[in-house]
Structure 1
Amino acid sequence: MNADTPHWVPPLRSDVIELLTPGKNPFYEHADVQLFLAWRDGRAVGRISAHIDHLALEQPVEQGMGPGTGNWGMMEAEDAAVMAAVIAAAEDWLRGRGMTRALAPLSLSVWDEPGLLTKGHDHSPMIMMGHHRAEYEGWIAACGYCETKQLHTFIVPVHEGFPKLINRIVASGERNERIRIRPVDMGRFDEEATLILSILNQAWSRNWGFVPITDSEVRYIKTKLKPVLYPEINLIAEYDGKPAAFMLCLPDVNEALKDMNGSLLPFGWARLLWKLKRRKWTAGRVPLMGVLPEHQNSRLASQLAFMMIEHIRRWGVEEMGVDRAEVGWILDDNQGMVAIADAIEGEVNRVYSIYDKAL
């Protein structure tokens, strides 16, 4: 269904199987999931997942989730009729389990690939971001769904550096003995990753769509991210000797995956490992950052963010040869993060929409 979509990057089949397998993906420890396939004339023409995340049900309604909220995602469809059929199947399954609302698409969790691509079809997604056919937007709307939230990614200039004001803020921070920006210590990787995800849970706890990351998911994420982490661009900011914030940056592994057709065999592993070892990538993505609640909404928070972004920019350009960088996703109404993206002259390059419907 995506063979004629030039900018779609086939995900690794092994990763998709792991994502959908109970016992491998810890999402299943707190969620009920049902997978559906649509068939026509003996041929698969669509798919969808329906799921109820019990941790999401416990979140405040004003933060987007809450009681009665079910989800669907992983949708693909050959045409509008198939899309309507698979969505109806997901809705019936959710309704039959007492859900009164569908918030979608989430594939599977808000921490995986949330939203439907509604802007940015003219270029390939970076690592850990989805890509969908442009027709899907109209097909989903025709099923009675209304947009409730947008997630934005920002393309950021890297070669020429940031505006003078940002450079002054960074320089001031670098002179401040109370601030230390340090790389992740790979010799203590488990401890460092646990620290980062702890900050993430605290920093994002009041954000729209937040669902806490469990201890099992922390262990799972550590295993998945370690092979693609370069410590020099994955940073922890300390203030008065205590962790205050973090920022993660990943090379755009999709550069290597795009031509593998979803398989690491027979030579995909070698190609990917060669790319990782050479540390030469044309693009990178900052998927996550977080500042502890006690520092949020302060001048320190933005200063730490600018310092980490500049550190990543320098190293990415000088050591990795990066010529494109992406920041996000960022909630469209997250004023603090949008202001930071604007200050470093970021421009929205992709929009992902999340939809809502009463069941």
Structure 2
Amino acid sequence: MNKKAGSVAGEIDIAPVSGKGDLNAFIDCAYRLNANDPNWVPPLRADMVELLTPGKNPFHQHARVQLFLARRGGKVVGRISAHYDELALAQPPEQGMGPGTGNWGLFEAEDEAIAASLIARAEDWLREQGMTHVLAPISLSMWEEPGLLVKGHDHQPMLLMGHDNAAYEGWVEAQGYVTAKKLYTYDLHHVKEGFPPIVDRIVASGERSKRIKVRKVDKSRFDEEAAICIDILNDAWSRNWGFVPFTETEKAYGAKKLKPLTLEGTNMIAEVDGEPAAFMLAWPDINLKLRNYGGKLFPFNWAKLLWWLRNPRSENFRVPLMGVVSKYQNTRLASQLAFMMIEYIRREAATQHAGVRAEIGWVLEDNQGMVAIADAINSRINREYRIYRKEL
């Protein structure tokens, strides 16, 4: 059902996306509304089509997604997705998700009246599906781009991090949304200089231990290595707020997508007593290239990107994921493994790939272990995202 609302600029019409033309309009909306923001990085249009297409993105195998477009005077003026994830509904409520949890995301709006209409339509759809509360924005899953940017609008995001109009914070909160959780990214500018002496001592102690082995990811058996990392992640993050497990299909899909960005020396697996115990990933920031492509690979950008991916040299690296198996969490061994991996990755990025700066995150505000590690290496919060909650 269409939903209409009045505004001083004219009537707003909210309608479900239907057909290829609407899908293209949904994708194009973000490029037009963010065109004047120098820090917004246009995603590849092909990636957006894949994200939103059942049969291409395995998220749709366990989720239901409805896209909506806002039009005023026949012109597209905003968009939103409304969705829920069956795997998220099965999680314990005390971890943030659980039964009745719906989401919206991929939110763009020209003004506050449009924003209010879009959010109301997404809420109506979620009620129709039996949802009782909303966590948003999540675009589309916690493993993609969760949260609304509320701090850090003055610089561009690294890969797989969102960037939102600063006005959205007030527009969302005006619809009755309250903060459920804050997510931070940490900026590390001294990649070449190294870490404080205490970190060096912790690393040296780990290197003397016969129990510990920290090794590079072996790309010659990449699928196996990726499966090890995701299995550790599913175990390590299983009690974290907002956790939703990866399916086997998503493991394979993610590995295929991220293999071109995976450098052996900046991705580490730690073993304890011969068994995988932890991992840490760091990827060169492909946004440094994508910001100039306007979302398009053809006719010439595909060749430029392919050439760069053969030997990425990047000033910026992002550490998006790390994990330590649950049996070692809350022990000194967990922090030791983390410091060893981050130091080895720092050395490789600085000496082999021209790395100058790194970004760690996102990190949950109450993840005391990761916050302590970020503080110990003298990094600072440079971006803050918020996930909001509202009862329906």
TM-score by length of 2: 0.91
1:316 and 2:355 are equivalent in the alignment: no
Distance, in Å, in 2 between the alignment partners of 1:271 and 1:126 is 19
Q: Which of 288, 295, 305 pairs up with 1:255?
A: 288
SS of equivalent residue, structure 1 residue 262: coil
1:277 and 2:281 are equivalent in the alignment: no
1:235 and 2:268 are equivalent in the alignment: yes
Distance, in Å, in 1 between the alignment partners of 2:170 and 2:161 is 21
Q: Which of 135, 141, 158 pairs up with 1:103?
A: 135
Match runs of 1:187-198 below 5 Å: 187-198=220-231
Segment drifting more, 166-175 vs 348-357: 166-175
Deviation at 1:279, TM superposition (A): 2.5
1:148 and 2:180 are equivalent in the alignment: yes
Quote the residue 1:40 is aligned against: 72
Deviation at 1:8, TM superposition (A): 0.3
Quote the residue 1:160 is aligned against: 193
Quote the residue 1:53 is aligned against: 85
Deviation at 1:356, TM superposition (A): 0.3
Distance, in Å, in 2 between the alignment partners of 1:158 and 1:227 is 23
Q: Higher relative CO (CA 8 A, sep ≥ 6), structure 1 or 2?
A: 1
Quote the residue 1:122 is aligned against: 154
1:9 and 2:48 are equivalent in the alignment: no
Q: Which of 127, 130, 138 pairs up with 2:170?
A: 138
Distance, in Å, in 2 between the alignment partners of 1:187 and 1:320 is 20
Q: Which of 270, 288, 299 pairs up with 2:332?
A: 299
The runs of 5 or more residues in structure 1 that have no matched partner are none
Segment drifting more, 189-198 vs 117-126: 189-198
Distance, in Å, in 2 between the alignment partners of 1:89 and 1:250 is 37
Q: Deviations over 1:137-182 (max 9, x none)?
A: 0000111101110000000131211000000111111122211111
Number of residue-to-residue matches in the alignment: 359
Q: Which of 161, 167, 177 pairs up with 2:210?
A: 177
Quote the residue 1:67 is aligned against: 99
* Percent identical residues: 62
Moved over 2 A (4+): none
Distance, in Å, in 2 between the alignment partners of 1:59 and 1:280 is 40
Q: Deviations over 1:43-90 (max 9, x none)?
A: 111000000101111111110001111000000001111111111110
Deviation at 1:240, TM superposition (A): 1.0
Distance, in Å, in 2 between the alignment partners of 1:285 and 1:10 is 18
Deviation at 1:268, TM superposition (A): 1.1
AA paired with 1:115?
G
Quote the residue 1:94 is aligned against: 126
Q: Deviations over 1:213-267 (max 9, x none)?
A: 1111101101100111101111100011111000011100000000100011111
Distance, in Å, in 1 between the alignment partners of 2:320 and 2:170 is 28
Distance, in Å, in 2 between the alignment partners of 1:69 and 1:287 is 25
TM-score by length of 1: 0.99
Distance, in Å, in 2 between the alignment partners of 1:88 and 1:77 is 13
Deviation at 1:278, TM superposition (A): 3.2
* Superposed CA RMSD: 0.7
Q: Deviations over 1:271-295 (max 9, x none)?
A: 1122222331010000000000011
Distance, in Å, in 1 between the alignment partners of 2:277 and 2:388 is 34
SS of equivalent residue, structure 1 residue 132: coil
Distance, in Å, in 2 between the alignment partners of 1:119 and 1:164 is 31
AA paired with 2:109?
A
Distance, in Å, in 1 between the alignment partners of 2:295 and 2:286 is 13
Deviation at 1:303, TM superposition (A): 0.5
Distance, in Å, in 1 between the alignment partners of 2:152 and 2:122 is 27
